[in-house]
Amino acid sequence: MHHFTYKDGRLHCEDVDLNRIADEVGTPCYVYSSATLVRHAGVIASAFEGQDCLIAFSVKSNGNIGVLSTLAREGCGADVVSGGELQRALKAGIPAGKIVFSGVGKTAEEMRLAMQAGIHQFNVESAGELRRLSEVATMNNLEAPIAIRVNPDVAAGGHPNISTGKKGDKFGVPWSDAEALYTEAANLPGIRVVGVDVHIGSQIGDLVPMRAAFEKVIGLTRRLREAGHDIQRIDLGGGLGIPYKASDDPAPPSAYAAMIAEVTEGMGLQVILEPGRVISGNAGVMLSTVLYEKQAPDTNFLIIDAGMNDLIRPALYDAHHDIMPLEESGAGVDRKTYDVVGPICESTDKFAKNRELPALRPGQRIAFMSAGAYGAVLSSTYNARPLVPEVLVNGASFDIIRRRPDFEEMIALEKVPDWLTPTA
Ligand code: LLP
């Protein structure tokens, strides 16, 4: 459930008319609902009540400091994959003891930063990374608590590009190498083995592959304990799917939590979760304005002021986002079939193909729903477009939590070499 609804025929975020935000901030822009973020974090927390559980919000899904601060207040930890995300989480007030560091390519500098901050755990993805971590730890007189991310060879996920737990994916340590790597880890200086980690993909609506992967990992945990490793935690990653359209029916957090309770029962493990999309996805929309309508022989193009640089999911994964006009169309309004496209000079700059919508005119505004996860974080300045701003609504008020840069700011890091600068 989210807080984007029509009130008196106008789409609101909580108690704020989205047209008011569009007037003040301009479009395109992202708008997040703090009540929805809080609600989603609460739904996950209460689903796991009674289980020893750390909910580490996946910062990659939405890393805005305003969003992270909202979730920090709700007691969330963070799953980070870079030094930058680590610093964002810390700046937002998430305690280091609730931060886990994932990702296949951590640099020595990032390892040092995280160790010095005192993070909860490193999720190690290769033998090379493990050895580097040991070197960095001993060089700095520190210790790294680690889990090894294993690849359970289970296929899952909404799209091949977001499946991560299958043999051949770059993620995790191959299943057959895992136990030997734990033996090596136990003997490396500066390394303290604390857990096992798995993450099989994203936008997973079906609990069957998740259960299969988690059961495999519990089996591994038992064998590791028998071999003398002190496994206290199990990190089950993120990946729970969300409804992007009315017909989507992903497993609810309650069923997910019940399945995890069953699989981990009697193990005495701390369960770590890294939910991203399920918390932030339906807590955000992207607003855009219709610029033109262009009639081609077989297609009716609706050209809008947002591009694939602002929301890349449709271009990258063929992802569906519902489109809602900011003004609700009455019963008698014509409907039309559009290809909704942006201004970028790429054929993939297309948000929807053959989408039936209420007839729209230039100047009217629309909202792309379910854009709170993997939206603004994946935006770019392609075609020299300014990074899209972000707004956080709280009840009847809103704050700009990232403003639109002006042109001078956009080029501030660039310079023309002296030899090209004409001399007087
Ligand atoms: N943990 C790890 C190690 C991950 O790689 C991910 C997502 C998550 C947690 C959070 O997964 P979530 O709960 O959000 O499904 N850009 C794609 C999704 C990429 C997911 C990458 N990893 C999209 O827009 O669909």
Stated as kind and residue range, the H or E segment containing 165 is none
Query: For residues 306 and 342, is the Cβ–Cβ distance under 8 A?
Result: yes
Q: Which residues are annotated as a binding site for substrate?
A: 277, 313, 317, 346, 374
User: Would the pLDDT of 340 be above 90?
Assistant: yes
11-24 pLDDT, tens digit per residue, is: 999 999 999 999 99
Which atom of ligand 1 lies closest to the CA of 277? 14
Residue 182: per-residue pLDDT: 98
3-class SS at 209? helix
Which atom of ligand 1 lies closest to the CA of 278? 13
Residues of the chain with CATH 3.20.20.10: 34-279
- The contacts of residue 276 (CB under 8 Å, 6+ apart) are 57, 58, 59, 60, 61, 62, 79, 202, 238, 373, 374
User: Would the pLDDT of 329 be above 90?
Assistant: no
Distance 110 CA to ligand 1 centre (A): 20
Nearest residue by C-alpha to atom 6 in ligand 1 = 238
d(CA 42, CA 105): 32
Distance 82 CA to ligand 1 centre (A): 14
Residue 157: per-residue pLDDT: 62
Q: What is the arithmetic mean of pLDDT over 338-360?
A: 97
Residues of the chain with CATH 2.40.37.10: 4-31+281-410
Neighbours of 131 (CB within 10 A): 15
Q: What is the arithmetic mean of pLDDT over 45-65?
A: 97
Give the rounded percent of residues in the chain with a pLDDT score beyond 90: 93
Strand pairing category for 365-368 and 335-341: unpaired
Q: Is 345 in the active site?
A: yes
Which atom of ligand 1 lies closest to the CA of 237? 1
Pick one of 3.40.50.300, 3.40.50.720, 3.40.50.1860, 2.40.37.10 as the CATH number of 4-31+281-410: 2.40.37.10
Residue 295: per-residue pLDDT: 95
Ligand 1 binding pocket mutation candidate from 59, 61, 159 (most atoms within 8 A of CB): 61
Nearest residue by C-alpha to atom 23 in ligand 1 = 374
| pLDDT band per the 50, 70, 90 thresholds, residue 170 | confident
> For residue 407, with 0-12 CB atoms within 10 Å meaning exposed, 13-18 middle and 19 or more buried, which class applies?
exposed
d(CA 148, CA 369): 36
Q: What is the arithmetic mean of pLDDT over 383-395?
A: 98
Distance 297 CA to ligand 1 centre (A): 39
72-98 pLDDT, tens digit per residue, is: 999 999 999 999 999 999 999 999 999
Dihedral (C-alpha) 214, 216, 220, 225: value to the nearest 10 degrees? 50
User: Would the pLDDT of 411 be above 70?
Assistant: yes
Q: How far is CA 412 from the centre of its chain?
A: 28
Residue 155: per-residue pLDDT: 78
Return the CATH class of domain 34-279: alpha beta
d(CA 54, CA 72): 12
Give the rounded percent of residues in the chain with a pLDDT score beyond 70: 98
Query: For residues 265 and 48, is the Cβ–Cβ distance under 8 A?
Result: no
Nearest residue by C-alpha to atom 9 in ligand 1 = 238
Distance 9 CA to ligand 1 centre (A): 35
User: Would the pLDDT of 158 be above 80?
Assistant: no
Residue 377: per-residue pLDDT: 98
Mean pLDDT of the chain: 96
3-class SS at 215? helix
Ligand 1 binding pocket mutation candidate from 44, 148, 202, 313 (most atoms within 8 A of CB): 202
- Ligand 1 lining (C-beta closer than 6 Å): 58, 60-61, 79, 102, 162, 199, 202-203, 237-240, 274-278, 313, 317, 373-374
Residues counted in the chain: 424
Structure tokens, 380: 């770019």
Q: What is the sign, positive or negative, of the torsion defined by CA atoms of 87, 32, 39, 267?
A: negative
Give me the catalytic one of 13, 53, 76, 345.
Answer: 345
User: Would the pLDDT of 419 be above 90?
Assistant: yes
Query: For residues 233 and 193, is the Cβ–Cβ distance under 8 A?
Result: no
Which atom of ligand 1 lies closest to the CA of 238? 13
Nearest residue by C-alpha to atom 7 in ligand 1 = 202
Nearest residue by C-alpha to atom 22 in ligand 1 = 202
Residue 168: per-residue pLDDT: 74
Residue 332: per-residue pLDDT: 79
